Amino acid sequence: MVNFLIFGPPGSGKGTQSVKLAEKYNLMHLSTGDMLRAEIAAGSALGKKMSSIMSKGELVPDEVVIELIASKIDNTKNRAGFLFDGFPRTVAQTVALEKMLNERGMKIDSMLVLDVDHDELVKRLILRADQSGRPDDADPAVIENRIDVYRAKTEPIIDYCRQKGIYQPVNGVGSIDEIFGRLCDGMKTFLTR
């Protein structure tokens, strides 16, 4: 199985592109944000706890996310691999993910990073709030906090993956199809279709 990380700050288009890439290459799209929002929508105890954390733009505890992902991996069949969207978010989570994958005879094959400038990110997030009803995208203070959290806690993963030789930067500005084509170019050495 082939495993990709798709990265970029909030609003970079990870979710949109992940769905298209997963469909094209028969990958299981693992969006931790979607998984956590499903818990919140279900009104579970975990969902209520996570709602409070996510509404402030903060990160969900590592052990909860690892548990959700491990369960999904263990219950997935007939896929070429996994596309991790929104996880890992810290170097510690990256190490934990590598450990979990190694225990299953798997590894992280490539980290695709969507590069988008700050002003474009803010514009996209505000538009997304209007179009999809995501309240975490509507408040400018929460948007700035999410971008700051990404830069402080998540960007160091880029250096970690660069040292492992799996980092691939991708220009994240342009039409959805243009960006999709660039991502496919970065994935084609691992997959054919």
Report the chain's C-alpha Rg in angstroms. Answer: 16
Query: Pairing state of beta strands 27-31 and 110-115?
Result: unpaired
Q: Who's near 137: CB < 8 A, 6+ residues apart?
A: 10, 11, 125, 126, 128, 129, 143
Ordered DSSP codes for 102-119:
HHTT----EEEEEE--HH
Residue listed under structure tokens 């402030």: 56
Instruction: Decide if 124 is catalytic.
Output: no
Given 128, 153, 164, 188, the catalytic residue: 128
Instruction: Decide if 193 is catalytic.
Output: no
Given 134, 151, 164, 188, the catalytic residue: 134
77: left (phi over 0), alpha (psi -120 to 50) or beta: beta
Secondary structure class of 50 (helix, strand, coil): helix
Q: Who's near 61: CB < 8 A, 6+ residues apart?
A: none
Instruction: Decide if 162 is catalytic.
Output: no
Half-sphere exposure of 62 (CA within 13 A, CB side): 12
Which residues are catalytically annotated? 14, 89, 128, 134, 146
